[in-house]
Amino acid sequence: MQDAISPWEGSDPVARVEKALRERGYAGTVLRSEATIFTVDDAARAIGAHPEEILKTIVLVADGKPLLALMRGPNRIHTGKVKRFLGARKVSMASPEVVYGLSGFRIGGVAPVGYPQELPALLDEDLFLHDTVWAAAGTDHAFFPVAPVELQRLTGGEVADIRQ
């Protein structure tokens, strides 16, 4: 039996992010780096920013439906707070396979935009302590700067206390 081909095979994830950003009126530029941005510390070194200025995009599943948690670099998600905020019964982190199947993004390059269907997003309120945060743009070598207020507009997300 032949393996099923991923719908993302041959798709350029960075191009999808750039297209989504343009369609939403983002005026900045997606940047690329030889260095990886796989972890928060990697990203901070590659970009020349503090870890607190790095945006982590985490895919969660709440009562069977995917959503995004947009977190300040060192902060950790508190699924209990997400559960209470949403009024959900169950909230868990999506597996890397689910993230890729849903978005075509691999862990380390998960972007806050560029999904086939817009996902609800929750923004860690600590993001707003910074003028600019740096988000992955589809791979672990592409990123873009964005003001938290602009990130909220781009994602249609809600600001929430969702950190541990």
Strand (E) or helix (H) holding 83: helix 79-86
Show the tokens assigned to 155: 């994602």
Amino acid 9: pLDDT = 66
Domain 13-160: give its CATH code: 3.90.960.10
Residue ranges of domains in the chain = 13-160
Given this model, what pLDDT does residue 123 score?
Answer: 98
Residue 62 pairs with which residues in a beta bridge? 65, 91
SS3 100: helix
The pTM for the full model equals 0.93
Does 4 have pLDDT greater than 70? no
Q: Round to whole Å and give the CA distance between 45 and 70.
A: 20
Distance from C-alpha of 163 to C-alpha of 19, rounded to nearest angstrom: 30
pLDDT digits (tens, 9 = 90+) for 24-34: 999 999 999 99
